[in-house]
Amino acid sequence: MGTNLKTVSVRLGDQAGARVSKAAQLARQSKGAFLAQAGEEAARHLLLEWAGQRHASGEASLSELAAETGVPIEVIAEHVSAQRSAVATDMYLTSARRLAEALKTPRFYAEAKRAVKAARKDAAGGGSE
């Protein structure tokens, strides 16, 4: 990564300016550093939301989204997972139940349920990535 810094000027109203001054003081940062960090965090949040939606709709792959947003591929993957894990594992269980019924192997569904329980526990612990 290069270390070139870009300058962005912002104009704030009196109240907004006062709030930024106070917040920067509390964060023990200069107003410029505070705004730069806030802007970076807001941009990252917005890009992750956008990337998550694009991936969910099948419009773009993780690789494309990482290239387009500059956000690491693992961070996008983690975000997608946090957003949709519950729905996805429900779908998995539905499929497993349907298969267990069709093939008359109830044990298969019981094992799938155990697997989902463990996967959800893993996901909640954030231990995967």
Partner 1 sequence: MVKQNATPDSSFWIHATVSNVIEQLLEDFELYVAQAVAEELSEEYRSGAWLHGLIREGRVRVRDAGAATLDRFGPGERAAINLAIENPDWVLLMDDLRPFRAAEELGLSPVSSPVYAASLYKRGVLDEQAVLNVLARLSARSTVSPQLIDLALSQVADITKKGRG
Q: Which residues contact partner 1 (rule: CB under 8 A)?
A: 55, 58, 60-67, 72-75, 77, 80-81, 83-85, 87-89, 91-92, 95-96, 99-100, 102-103, 105, 108, 111-112, 114-116, 118-120, 122-123, 128-129
Q: Which residue, 29 or 64, has its beta carbon nearer to partner 1?
A: 64
Which structure tokens are listed for 97? 């139940």
Q: Which residue, 48 or 60, has its beta carbon nearer to partner 1?
A: 60
Q: Report in angstroms how near the CB of residue 87 gets to partner 1 at its nearest.
A: 8
Which structure tokens are listed for 62? 């993780």
Q: Report in angstroms how near the CB of residue 60 gets to partner 1 at its nearest.
A: 8
Q: Which residue, 24 or 51, has its beta carbon nearer to partner 1?
A: 51
Residues 6+ apart with CB under 8 A from 74: 129
How far CA 97 is from CA of 62, 79, 101, 106, 114, in Å, comes to 30, 28, 6, 8, 13
CB 97 within 8 A of CB 91: no
CB 47 within 8 A of CB 55: no
Q: Give which of 9, 58, 1 is closest to 35, Cα–Cα.
A: 9
Q: Report in angstroms how near the CB of residue 106 gets to partner 1 at its nearest.
A: 11
Q: Which residue, 22 or 121, has its beta carbon nearer to partner 1?
A: 121
Q: Report in angstroms how near the CB of residue 81 gets to partner 1 at its nearest.
A: 5
